[in-house]
Amino acid sequence: MIDATLLPVSDSLRTLRPLSSHDAERYAGGTRDPLVQKYGHLPEPEYTPETVARLADDVVPQGLQAGDLAVLSIVDEADTFLGSLVLFDVTDRTAEVGFWLHPDSRGLGHSAAALELAAALAVRSGLSELTARTATGNLSSQRCLERSGFSQTGTNVERTPSGERIELAHYQRRLK
């Protein structure tokens, strides 16, 4: 399980912390980006600042309290929302990670750094493995996962959180 008392986690430039209503405008705006729509496979077809605020106020605290879902914001030192990282399907030893960046935050190493912060959180929470899936056409995410210590374990046609059936590349990173 994810130990929410360990949040936030930071490096010198960015922080992973629970999604808050403060992030609602930039989160909702980021989900309208064509690349996020194509590769994010978010569970909801559309996000508004109001739906994001509800998510932050209701779902996020419940998931963190249960330890089985961590909807986190990637933020900079000024607490500006850069993107989202989610740990889900959490067990006593593993969690799956998903992430996306706001379009104006790409190309600056934020995804790789956020994956390192997520790995540190997972280790400190007692997990031994992170997994990830990404569309086989999402070469940017695949390269980021591989640079972050994930190894591809195969591909399979599956249903995404958005309900779409696509070919997904599976990744795994052992933590201990």
Q: Of 1, 10, 4, 7, nearest to 116 (Cα)? A: 10
Give, for all 176 residues of the chain, the pLDDT tens digit: 999 999 999 999 999 999 999 999 999 999 999 999 999 888 888 999 999 999 999 999 999 999 999 999 999 999 999 999 999 999 999 999 999 999 999 999 999 999 999 999 999 999 999 999 999 999 999 999 999 999 999 999 998 877 789 999 999 999 97
Tell me the longest C-alpha to C-alpha distance in the chain.
40
User: Cα separation of 145 and 149, whole Å?
Assistant: 7
What is the value of pTM for the model shown?
0.94
